[in-house]
Amino acid sequence: MTVAATDRDRYARQRIIPGWDQRRLAGRTAVVVGVGAVGNEVAKNLALAGVGRLILCDPDIAADSNLSRTVLLRNGDVGQPKAVAAAAALEDLVPGLIAEPRVADLGSGVGLGELAAAGITLSCVDTIRARMRLLGRCALAGAALVDGGTHPFGGEIRLRLSPDEPCYACSLSAHERGVADLPWSCFGMSPDGPQPASIATAALIAAWMSAAAVQVLLGPPPSYRVLSVDAAGGRTTPVLLTRDPACPHHRPLAGPVTLVPVSCRATAGEFLGLLGPRDEAMTWEQFPVSSPCRRCQHEPEPAADARAGVRPCPSCGALIRVRWSQRLRDASPQSRLSDLGVAPEEILPVRDPGGEYTCRRLRP
């Protein structure tokens, strides 16, 4: 029996969807921030749809409690970075797919240049602070964003395709926007202890997010910007948001952006060598800088894990206060930018002696 040509085409059924462009999808990049339950489903859906490149950003390690809600993780992945395990599973699932794991927080894992170049960014995080941070970085880069949040029997899908549009943060008070980074839902649930979750709800919200992302990549985008999903009642309801003039998550980068001939693997000294002697380059993440011991004057290497604020001097044992900075000239000239928390293809602001800002984009 001869098999029809279309039966040998992985995407045969999609190609007959009106307006579908498989080649266009294959040439696009999607950034998935958060590779937990929702992120697993979103990444799987976009990979199967044929999106050619996925950047998976998540600093966390897989735990047993993830296994009932993560289609890409297996028993042997417990204790491994979620992003690494998910990327390997995706490339095995879809031959030819490029899945790049970034085992880091958003600010160190995905550069503004990557956000700007991607076709879509998907927020699959579970903290208010992470959502606010991603909103702000997508605004800086002018990146289209699809955000999803769940509760036990439903959730919300939120789109912001331009920094000018209202966003989720516009619906929050200033206090709520500044909430500590605790893993609690954006639906007013208590931060005490783990929050209830199931694969059914995660898959439901992820399906809506994936459909919205594909529409953005292929065009035209969905007409709604916020959709409330009530699985228990069987209802989906568009929600109208109003732009809050006080919301700080709509600010694009100031000044022109210039591509420089170094990557995040360059040293601080190499990057600063491209600037004027009085130009001040800033990073988006704080990094520790060396401080001499007041007792013996020994100056140890900065310790990136010294989040407590103090550490013992390796020479005399006296406590040394750890100093943090975002001023690149405070770093050791031999430090690699990536070791200072600078993400791939990051765009760094540079202030000239007159106080004017320009931006430098790192090459891939």
Could you tell me the pLDDT band of residue 81, with boundaries at 50, 70 and 90?
very high
pLDDT value of position 156 = 96
For residue 269, pLDDT beyond 50: yes
Residue 61, beta-bridge partner list: 81
Is the sign of the CA dihedral 128, 130, 132, 138 positive or negative?
negative
* pLDDT (mean) for 142-171: 95
Would you list the DSSP string of 180-231?
A: ---S--TTS---SSPPP--HHHHHHHHHHHHHHHHHHHHSSPPS-SEEEEET
d(CA 112, CA 166): 21
Q: pTM for this one?
A: 0.89
Q: What is the mean pLDDT of the chain?
A: 89
pLDDT value of position 79 = 97
For residue 182, pLDDT beyond 50: no
Task: Enumerate domains of the chain plus CATH numbers.
Answer: 5-238 (3.40.50.720), 257-361 (no CATH)
> Comparing 261 with 254, which gets the higher pLDDT?
261
Q: Which residues of 119-149 are buried (b: 16+ CB within 10 A; e: fewer)?
A: bbbbbbbbbbebbbbbbbbbbbbebbbbbbb
Consecutive H or E run containing 121:
strand 120-123
Over residues 293-352, the pLDDT tens digits come to 666 766 666 655 545 566 677 667 667 677 889 999 999 999 999 999 999 999 999 999
pLDDT value of position 301 = 66
Could you tell me the pLDDT band of residue 115, with boundaries at 50, 70 and 90?
very high
